[in-house]
Structure 1
Amino acid sequence: MAAPPRNVDARTAALQRPASEVILKTHTEPSYDLAMERRKATFNVEELSYVLNGGKEQLEKKMRFAEMLSKTSWGDKSRRYFLNREEEYVGALKAALGIWEKMKSERLSLSDGALMRTLVDFPGGLELHIGMFIPSILSQGSAEQQAKWMPLCMGLKIIGTYAQTELGHGTFVRGLETTATYDKQTQEFVVHSPTLTATKWWPGGLGKTSTHAIVMARLMLPDGAGGVRDHGPHGFVVQIRDMDTHLPLPGVSIGDIGPKFGFGGVDNGFMSFDHLRIPRDAMLMRFSKVTPEGVYVPPPPSNSKASYATMVFVRADIVKNSGSVLARAVTIATRYAAVRRQTAPGPGQRELQVLDYQNCAATLLPLLAAAYALTFMGEDMMGMYRKFEADRDAGRFEGLPELHALSSGLKALCTWIAADGIEECRRTCGGHGYSRLSGLPTLFASYVQNVTWEGDNNVLCLQTARFLIKALAGVKAGRRVEGSAAYLNDAATELAPGRRCAAAGEACWLRPEVAAAALRHAAARSCATAAETLAAASGGRLVFEGAPWNSNTVDSIRAAKAHCALVLHGTFLASVARLEAGAGAININTSTAAAVPSDDADAGAAGAGAGGSLRLGGAAAGVLRQLAALFALEVLERGGGLAVLLEDGYMSAAQAGALRRAHRGLLAALRPNAVALVDAFAFPDYLLHSALGRQDGDVYRGLLDMARGSPLNDTEEGPAWLEVLRPVLAARSRM
């Protein structure tokens, strides 16, 4: 608590007054600085906020929910940064159940629940129940299985998780070692972990919360000759705990995997099986089946890839979430950089705002541009997934290869950008960024696992590269490519000797078509290089396995990154054009996996369709196009594009220099709108939970107020005084 004011004698006060006046002459209140920053905006911030938040009603609902949640016992964040692991786990579970109960008692929609989960921002034991268990049943379960399991899921009569990753296998799903062997005599599967490395490892909610799990296991059917035939990984709904005692069932060994880098509220777990028997109908059978006689019925050819649905959905959702998370980090860092002052230019002058230093602007403004790029890409990605669902239900799967490749590469690139961006934001905040009270360490620790889960990013890039190399080979064989890789149709012309960049000077780089052309050429060249090196390693053929493929991964990953950067830039520009034309709004607030996929009619209520009558004004659209230009030039300058283009001969040294000058010019042009652009995300203080990112700019008061809540401050002398410090200090008097 704060110390009470002292009664200072008049002589002491008079002595100190001149010294205080010297300090006050150059002192600036940070809240004043932030207010002045907002006056510099050249566009209507409220208008952009409505567009980014799904409309005025949705934005007002977000603020209303934030106020309501802050007043609940389970939504109160005042002690959040001071919890131990057990308190985090229990608190996060209470928050999840509190939201569930509020949805039920107030008849709120699934999208309302998703919004509340985003605002409470307390990942816990229900994450995979909501994000993967339910979506898997909806996408992979038969109509009968959905009728059986969904009421139990939605009523929280059971709590599920998704158990795929094992100690010895993650991204390589075909290598999983858990088996499900069919017993025709009893019409059961025997689920077993034949090795230590077959132990399931990492599923969220598995450690102490879940009663059921979708277990990915290799389906083994007896071949009649004493052996088995391996039909590869399939999903099984397995009860793992007793519903009355919550103890593990016989044949199931479960536990929590222990402390992690972050995500302390989630009880990630381990699990192994010892000849556990489950009924035949525990296998998810929407597409492939096992008959009572033990005959495997594969999915029809048109549905052979339908099992990709949940995986693609989760990756698309990760892409969507990356924009919101990076936007939160950039909001905190930009507001703080606008009020933090460092180094006076001369005696008696005020110190400069940190954001006015070019190096700081060169860190934060490109990240701000990336946050917008990822936000628009996330919305577009979920639109692609919804189209895939509609096509899938109609039996059409022709768009799946590209969606799989795009969701893989974008999941990788977007999570790399977001995770690295959060850490860069933290560093720009100096020493105060190291404090958890800034909100940035926790945000980073809770997010950084995204670069690994749902597929290691490098492996996912290789999946994208394989698609691109095959597409390029198809073009050479006379087959056209559709979708995001359509630029490869013109690869021969694009990469012909003599093809040169059209930029005639610095101003040219601000034209979107010039930057887009450079990104397109870099993507085409990177893909062609990867194909050429693979062919060389394969003896003239394209071999996507073994030594040839393994010796080509660096070039392949570079090709995937270049392709996805091109897609991000194109989507950025297309999104701004649509919004300017009044074609709808987006919603940065909710993660789709926080509800359920769109098999449920309400799940997408807060998505792109909301606020369809909104229109983005010309001033705001112009600023966003400046951000898109900065994003493109940042990718070219710092993302490796320049090296490719200079080596290729597409660009001259003079053009590269002009690009750098254009990049620096955009930093100066966007600087007055920096705070306005983060304000447009409209993150309430309740969500940011950051002393440095406060909307009112009163950052130092925020740090002090939050620090006083530390449990170490519950007593003035501290918890070590009686037993540890006092005996040592008392010994002084005896020396």
Structure 2
Amino acid sequence: MAAHIVDQRTKALQKPATEIILRTHTEPSEDLAQERKRATFDVQELSYALNGGKEMLDKKHRFAEILAKTTWGDKSRRYFLTREEEYVGGLRAALGIWEKIKSEGLSLEDGALMRSLVDFPGGLELHIGMFIPSIMSQGSKEQQAKWMPLCMGLQIIGTYAQTELGHGTFIRGLETTATYDKQTQEFVIHSPTLTATKWWPGGLGKTATHAIVMARLMVEGPDGRMKDHGPHGFIAQLRDMDTHLPLPGVTIGDIGPKLGFNSVDNGYLSFDHVRIPREDMLMRFSQVTPEGRYVPPPPSNSKASYATMVFVRADIVKNAGSTLARAVTIAVRYAAVRRQTAPAPGERELQNCAATLLPLLAAAYALTFMGDAMMAMYRQFEKDRDRGDFSALPELHALSSGLKAVCTWITADGIEEARRTCGGHGFSRLSGLPTLHQGYVQNVTWEGDNNVMCLQTARYLIKALAGVRSGKAVSGSADYLNAAASELAPGARSPATCDACWEQPDVAGGALRHAAARATAAAAETLLAAGGGRLAFEGKPWNDNTVESIRAAKAHCAYVLHRTFLDSLAALFALDTLERGGGLAALLEDGFVGASQAAALRRCHRQLLAALRPNAVGLVDAFGLPDYLLNSALGREDGDVYRGLLDMAAASPLNATQEGPAWEGVLKPVLAAQPRSRL
């Protein structure tokens, strides 16, 4: 192709038109720099607080620089990979991090930080996240001594196989069986139905060599009858260690492409009378003796098997905040420089979408603090559990279930809301938002359908309220139910008397508390009516009460989220929850607030948005998220968003040649057949 040469006359002709454009043109990087100057607080100090101190923040950015230079941590082609390339790349990244930990003497916490930065989930996700924790929490000391060196040395790779084709959250309905043969002292693992096929475990498809299989324990009793002891965990080898081929009786494979998360080989698995040693049942709390006697866990820790699921749900709550923070950072930075549809020259997009982005920013902070508190609660439970104290498990199970639901709903919906504020560029994967959304939404159903999770929380709340009414006080997150009688007495009113009152934590928090108590009481009354004066948590009365129960769980979790962090952002989160989340309508119906108070709440909501607007960029900067992690043309720290889009687009495989991959075989024959005279 001939070189493009522009003559002087053409340049002179164009110059006045260019000058007209440059009068109103500004560089996005300059816009973002100006936004940063508007912050009214010390962004760096807040960033240190959010990231565990200066040392941890520096480490995060240092790791990001190192990882970007590795072959397996390079993200330049991440958005252009095929499914097979995603799987291989994710596994290489996971193994690369594992090797880096070993070779450089890094901690497991360092490894977790690197995994979050690389953001390329692979076949080791459940090995690290569920297989190892299950052995540590459910295995005996002897089992830990046998299996943990194999796990940590990657001599085996494990996964956690619980969900089946026909049964997910309803664990008691699992159909895979483990039948004890006392003559050989083995368990026979079997999938008696098609719906007993394990489905969804990460790493199962093509990576794992072993699995913790949740199966119904069947043991022949003294009377000769087979007795079902419910789901228990068993360690089963799935593949030959030399060839990686499935063992006899094991049918295994990848379940195919998903909406997102395609670097992970989620798999299916079924067993045809596969035998495993008796010693491979997880036996820390319950066991089967060689002669075939079932030894149940003590009553104090009969629910110990829930601990692994509680850990995973607590971890999901923790990750919700950091994920929403990524989406909001991208959207806020882009909104701060975008001028495409501004109502007047020089006015930026953030003015138009502040009402969407600032509440999402508040929610990201709420979820971040809640995640830290949730994991702290779980770590304390671990310490108590090791002393034989399981008293905290019921509330921890209820709270982690409800918060898992509410936090994942907030985050999944929030990512999509943030993406929409970015206009057309938000639809591009180069923005980072579509991939973030596709990779995250599985959390809404992963580890339990959210509506079922809410029902578990509601069951706990209704039982707690019944206990309070019979004279038994409740502690922990539901302690407000101790005052439910006075809270819900006729004439109970909000103390708000002015617009500014709604900024006060006790006023906004009081409204959320009242809404939670009211919703729990309503759910209990509905259940009592359905059960003929009896609280029935099974069957038709319970199934007919799900709407009220889910509402109670949501209201409870909203209150817990609010009281976990208290500042101006908390007020915005509370008011947005009340106004947009439906809480205000319930409070008006209840008479807790009047029309004038509701109007004051809405005015205060708008005033808070205006007050926080100058700090928007500073608040997302404080999350301390490196460009390497965001991998977004729109969320760049320097604000040079349009150069970012062009640079990232150049890496597309379709741009490897100028004519494109369809030229020779598809386009050329068609175009060559057309008469040139038509041009």
TM (norm. structure 1) is 0.91
Instruction: Report deviation, 1:302.
Output: 2.1
Instruction: Report deviation, 1:564.
Output: 0.5
Which residue type is aligned with residue 543 of structure 1? A
Instruction: Report deviation, 1:224.
Output: 5.1
State the match for 1:289 in structure 2: 287
State the match for 2:675 in structure 1: 733
State the match for 1:583 in structure 2: none
Is 1:649 the counterpart of 2:591? The answer is: yes
2: CA distance between counterparts of 1:327 and 1:485?
A: 28
1: CA distance between counterparts of 2:429 and 2:199?
A: 28
Is 1:156 the counterpart of 2:164? The answer is: no
State the match for 2:214 in structure 1: 216
State the match for 2:187 in structure 1: 189
The match for 1:369 among 359, 362, 367 is 362
Instruction: Report deviation, 1:545.
Output: 1.1
Q: CA distance change for structure 1 residues 344 and 663 in 2, over 3 Å: closer, same or farther?
A: closer
Instruction: Report deviation, 1:6.
Output: 4.8
Which residue type is aligned with residue 127 of structure 1? E
The match for 2:530 among 519, 529, 537 is 537
Is 1:356 the counterpart of 2:354? The answer is: no
Is 1:114 the counterpart of 2:112? The answer is: yes
1: CA distance between counterparts of 2:389 and 2:235?
A: 27
State the match for 2:581 in structure 1: 639
Could you list the per-position Cα deviations for residues 260-285 of structure 1 after superposition, in whole angstroms to 9, with x for gaps in the alignment?
Answer: 00001000000000000000001000
Q: CA distance change for structure 1 residues 245 and 35 in 2, over 3 Å: closer, same or farther?
A: same
State the match for 1:325 in structure 2: 323
Equivalence map 1:499-510=2 (5 Å)? 499-510=492-503
State the match for 1:669 in structure 2: 611
2: CA distance between counterparts of 1:696 and 1:325?
A: 21
Instruction: Report deviation, 1:226.
Output: 5.1
Which residue type is aligned with residue 354 of structure 1? E
Instruction: Report deviation, 1:399.
Output: 1.5
Could you list the per-position Cα deviations for residues 625-646 of structure 1 after superposition, in whole angstroms to 9, with x for gaps in the alignment?
Answer: 1111000001110111111101
1: CA distance between counterparts of 2:420 and 2:645?
A: 17
Which residue type is aligned with residue 669 of structure 2? P
The match for 1:552 among 541, 545, 567 is 545
2: CA distance between counterparts of 1:416 and 1:454?
A: 14
State the match for 1:255 in structure 2: 253
State the match for 2:7 in structure 1: 9
State the match for 1:34 in structure 2: 32
8 Å contact kept, 2:341–2:349: no
State the match for 2:660 in structure 1: 718
Is 1:171 the counterpart of 2:169? The answer is: yes
Equivalence map 1:282-681=2 (5 Å)? 282-343=280-341, 345=343, 349-350=345-346, 352-357=347-352, 360-573=353-566, 625-681=567-623
Could you list the per-position Cα deviations for residues 163-186 of structure 1 after superposition, in whole angstroms to 9, with x for gaps in the alignment?
Answer: 000000000000000000000010
Q: Which SS does the other structure have where 2:217 is aligned?
A: strand
Q: Which SS does the other structure have where 2:120 is aligned?
A: coil
The match for 1:689 among 631, 644, 663 is 631
Q: CA distance change for structure 1 residues 345 and 263 in 2, over 3 Å: closer, same or farther?
A: closer
Q: CA distance change for structure 1 residues 275 and 345 in 2, over 3 Å: closer, same or farther?
A: closer
2: CA distance between counterparts of 1:460 and 1:356?
A: 38
1: CA distance between counterparts of 2:457 and 2:320?
A: 19
State the match for 1:613 in structure 2: none
Equivalence map 1:14-93=2 (5 Å)? 14-93=12-91
Instruction: Report deviation, 1:5.
Output: 9.2
Q: Which SS does the other structure have where 1:536 is aligned?
A: helix
State the match for 1:600 in structure 2: none
Instruction: Report deviation, 1:222.
Output: 1.5
Equivalence map 1:223-262=2 (5 Å)? 223=221, 227-262=225-260
Instruction: Report deviation, 1:7.
Output: 3.8
2: CA distance between counterparts of 1:305 and 1:288?
A: 11
Could you list the per-position Cα deviations for residues 175-216 of structure 1 after superposition, in whole angstroms to 9, with x for gaps in the alignment?
Answer: 000000000010000000000000000000000000000000
Count of residue pairs the alignment pairs up: 677
Instruction: Report deviation, 1:505.
Output: 1.2
2: CA distance between counterparts of 1:155 and 1:135?
A: 15
Could you list the per-position Cα deviations for residues 545-592 of structure 1 after superposition, in whole angstroms to 9, with x for gaps in the alignment?
Answer: 11111111011000000001000000012xxxxxxxxxxxxxxxxxxx
Instruction: Report deviation, 1:506.
Output: 0.5
Instruction: Report deviation, 1:162.
Output: 0.2
- Percent sequence identity over aligned pairs: 79
1: CA distance between counterparts of 2:330 and 2:233?
A: 42
Which residue type is aligned with residue 298 of structure 1? P
Could you list the per-position Cα deviations for residues 491-523 of structure 1 after superposition, in whole angstroms to 9, with x for gaps in the alignment?
Answer: 110001011111111111011111011111100
2: CA distance between counterparts of 1:489 and 1:724?
A: 73
2: CA distance between counterparts of 1:344 and 1:499?
A: 46
Which residue type is aligned with residue 67 of structure 2? L
Instruction: Report deviation, 1:85.
Output: 0.1
Q: Which SS does the other structure have where 1:26 is aligned?
A: coil
1: CA distance between counterparts of 2:619 and 2:342?
A: 27
State the match for 1:585 in structure 2: none
Which residue type is aligned with residue 44 of structure 1? D
1: CA distance between counterparts of 2:513 and 2:277?
A: 53
Which residue type is aligned with residue 633 of structure 1? L
Instruction: Could you list the structure 1 runs, at least 4 aligned residues long, displaced by more than 4 angstroms after superposition.
Output: 3-6
1: CA distance between counterparts of 2:457 and 2:365?
A: 23
TM (norm. structure 2) is 0.99
2: CA distance between counterparts of 1:363 and 1:56?
A: 31
Q: Which SS does the other structure have where 2:23 is aligned?
A: helix
2: CA distance between counterparts of 1:71 and 1:5?
A: 36
Gaps of 5+ in 2: none
Is 1:142 the counterpart of 2:140? The answer is: yes
